[in-house]
């Protein structure tokens, strides 16, 4: 959900950048002209400003996460129940964004982007620039996450993860810690979605599907849970396999994904990173 929200904010800006180059030669996005809209809806008011777009990419997912997280964590919803309620929220948003009257392009979403900051998106130099920015953002988030985990804040988070009731008995209130890291993760997802959209050239409600959420969980499981580098490694492995299998054996891709998750859960509970650490430890003992 938060990934898609960031993507939609960026998509709205990119749609405004099309301007008179659209199929209908109108300042309104093509889908609005097709639906006979006469003016932009209120939530498109700041979509022509790049600075406002950058702020909204952070604020929209962050605010939604903060409000939802506050009520969820205050009610002490956690574990599988938290997973179910977050998926329900995502599905509700998917149905909302599917509706044409909400002004988000309905089933088709936003596409046919032309420019960003007046520079054509289709040029090799712009594609490389976006790729480099994405890589630097990933590195920056990794270093930030590592700093957070090694701080006092991070140690309390790990304690909350392992034994929340004991943390409460020690005098800590888990709510602000869980709410803060939940909101930070939502902001990270929103920024990722904003970087994704100009590179793939489309954003639609399908990005909010349950399958996408499950696939992200598989990245973490394959790479290594309870690690920072693990989900990154898992994302490369799973998406690399996806790119190859969807071309060579498209009908078997989902079966492979399911088998991969089962194999990792049963035989490599710590993922690839955990397996590498285990092999290194065994090699060190023999030495």
Do residues 255 and 227 share a domain?
Answer: yes
Do residues 204 and 235 share a domain?
Answer: no
Which of 208, 227, 247 marks a domain boundary?
Answer: 208
Do residues 122 and 239 share a domain?
Answer: no
Do residues 104 and 216 share a domain?
Answer: no
Which of 208, 228, 258 marks a domain boundary?
Answer: 208
Residue range(s) defining the domain that contains residue 275: 209-287
- Residue 287: is its pLDDT beyond 70? no
Percent pLDDT > 70 in the chain is 97
Do residues 168 and 268 share a domain?
Answer: no
What was the pLDDT predicted at 285? 66
Looking at the whole model, is its pTM more than 0.85?
yes
Do residues 165 and 190 share a domain?
Answer: yes
d(CA 39, CA 37) in angstroms, rounded, equals 6
Give the residue-averaged pLDDT of 64-73.
Answer: 96
Do residues 31 and 154 share a domain?
Answer: yes
Q: How many domains are there within the chain?
A: 2
CB neighbour list of residue 184: distance below 8 Å, 6 or more residues apart:
148
Do residues 243 and 101 share a domain?
Answer: no
Do residues 67 and 196 share a domain?
Answer: yes
CB neighbour list of residue 273: distance below 8 Å, 6 or more residues apart:
223, 224, 227, 229, 230, 233
Tens of pLDDT, residue by residue over 199-243, are 999 999 999 988 888 888 889 999 998 899 999 999 999 999 888
Give the residue-averaged pLDDT of 142-160.
Answer: 95
Do residues 117 and 65 share a domain?
Answer: yes
Confidence of residue 253 (pLDDT cuts 50, 70, 90): confident
- Residue 29: is its pLDDT beyond 90? no
Tens of pLDDT, residue by residue over 127-137, are 999 999 999 99
């Amino acid at each position: 959900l938060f990934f898609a929200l960031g993507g939609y904010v960026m998509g709205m800006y990119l749609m405004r950048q099309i301007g008179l180059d659209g199929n209908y030669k109108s300042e309104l996005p093509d889908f609005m002209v097709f639906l006979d809209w006469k003016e932009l809806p209120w939530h498109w008011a700041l979509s022509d400003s790049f600075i406002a777009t950058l702020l909204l990419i952070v604020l929209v997912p962050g605010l939604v996460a903060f409000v939802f997280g506050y009520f969820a964590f205050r009610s002490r919803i956690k574990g599988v129940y938290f997973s179910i309620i977050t998926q329900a929220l995502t599905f509700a948003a998917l149905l909302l964004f599917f509706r044409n009257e909400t002004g988000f392009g309905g089933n088709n979403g936003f596409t046919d982007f032309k420019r960003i900051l007046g520079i054509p998106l289709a040029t090799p130099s712009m594609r490389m620039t976006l790729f480099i920015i994405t890589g630097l953002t990933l590195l920056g988030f990794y270093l930030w996450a590592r700093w957070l985990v090694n701080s006092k804040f991070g140690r309390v988070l790990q304690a909350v993860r392992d034994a929340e009731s004991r943390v409460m008995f020690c005098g800590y209130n888990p709510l602000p810690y869980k709410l803060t890291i939940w909101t930070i993760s939502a902001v990270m997802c929103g920024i990722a979605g904003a970087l994704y959209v100009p590179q793939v050239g489309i954003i639609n409600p399908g990005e909010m599907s349950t399958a996408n959420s499950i696939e992200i969980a598989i990245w973490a499981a394959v790479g290594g849970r309870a690690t920072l580098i693990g989900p990154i490694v898992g994302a490369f492995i799973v998406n690399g396999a996806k790119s190859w299998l969807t071309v060579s054996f498209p009908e078997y891709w989902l079966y492979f994904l399911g088998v991969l998750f089962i194999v990792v859960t049963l035989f490599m509970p710590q993922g690839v990173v955990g397996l590498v650490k285990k092999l290194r430890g065994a090699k060190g003992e023999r030495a």
